[in-house]
Amino acid sequence: MYYLYGIDPASAHDFFGIVVHEMSTFSQMPRLRTLRKITGVAYTEVLNILENGYYDKKRQWREGLFKVYPPFHISIDYTNERTFTDILVAKKGKEKVEKVPFSDINKQMLKEDGLFIMRSGYAFPSLDAISDDDLRAMVKDVIDELRREQFEPSSKEGINKFYHPPGKHNDMAHSWELSVHSCLKFMLKGKSKPAGYSKGSPVKTGYQTPELDHFKELRRKGIHIRQAHVVSGDIY
């Protein structure tokens, strides 16, 4: 089994988001495996959580994510909070950790990656089927943040500006998009550009609407956030 990570390190007043998908073959649709949403913790402690483990709110020991789900590829936001990423690269190697600065063109690439994977049949796990309350809430956060994400046309042809509404967060949405980006890199066996952003791709969005809600545009194009029924334990 291959585990594909997306990590959005926390900046001031934000959450440290971690999303993990799993795939067993290059052609398999990615399956959401687990998530973490961390706040008020130093980078060194986050690394300890990932590599070694931690006690959850119920004082139960949880093994480190990297132990339970050894990362095959990690895509991580490399815009402002770069120290954690540099430490991760030093530990895991630059061939395993991809730095993704959140420029306008890279943000659009990640949106198109998400659009591509949803068009391909990706489905979130059913919230009702997730037995863990915290994980259920985090999956809901991802879906809600994706639905709230806003964009406006840019002066650069085909490249838009993306952001979240005032007072809201998009850390988990970014982590999900980064994990999807890792999945697409895996599906293409390490080729330079994910399928969702290859030039001339039939999924290139080319938004031409002033509408601010990104997912209103996706719905207009016939793309919906789907949920699939899964048995309890598929995500934990």
The predicted pLDDT at position 126 comes to: 87
Closest CA to 222 of 69, 115, 75, 77: 115
User: HSE of 155 in the Cβ direction (CA atoms, 13 Å)?
Assistant: 0
Q: How many helices (H) and strands (E) does the chain have?
A: 7, 11
The 3-state DSSP class for residue 39 equals coil
The predicted pLDDT at position 194 comes to: 40
The predicted pLDDT at position 47 comes to: 86
How would residue 11 be classed by pLDDT, with cut points 50, 70 and 90?
low
The predicted pLDDT at position 213 comes to: 46
The model carries a pTM of 0.77
Q: What is the pLDDT of residues 134-184, one digit of tens each?
A: 889 999 988 888 877 655 556 556 555 555 556 666 789 889 999 999 998
Residue 122 has pLDDT above 80, yes or no: yes
Q: What is the pLDDT of residues 103-120, one digit of tens each?
A: 777 777 788 888 888 888
The predicted pLDDT at position 233 comes to: 38
Residue 139 and residue 48: Cα distance in Å, rounded? 23
Closest CA to 4 of 194, 219, 212, 163: 194
Closest CA to 65 of 94, 22, 108, 106: 22
The predicted pLDDT at position 56 comes to: 76
Mean pLDDT on 18-30? 89
The predicted pLDDT at position 183 comes to: 92
How would residue 202 be classed by pLDDT, with cut points 50, 70 and 90?
very low
For residue 208, CA distances in Å to 22, 25, 30, 78 come to 34, 36, 30, 29
User: HSE of 21 in the Cβ direction (CA atoms, 13 Å)?
Assistant: 31
The predicted pLDDT at position 69 comes to: 94
Residues 6+ apart with CB under 8 A from 50: 18, 64, 65, 66
Q: Where are the domains of the chain?
A: 2-228
The predicted pLDDT at position 62 comes to: 83
The predicted pLDDT at position 66 comes to: 93
| Beta strands in 113-235, from DSSP E residues, in sequence order | 124-125, 150-153, 160-163, 227-228
CATH architecture for residues 2-228: 2-Layer Sandwich (3.30)
Mean pLDDT on 11-37? 85
Residue 10 has pLDDT above 80, yes or no: no
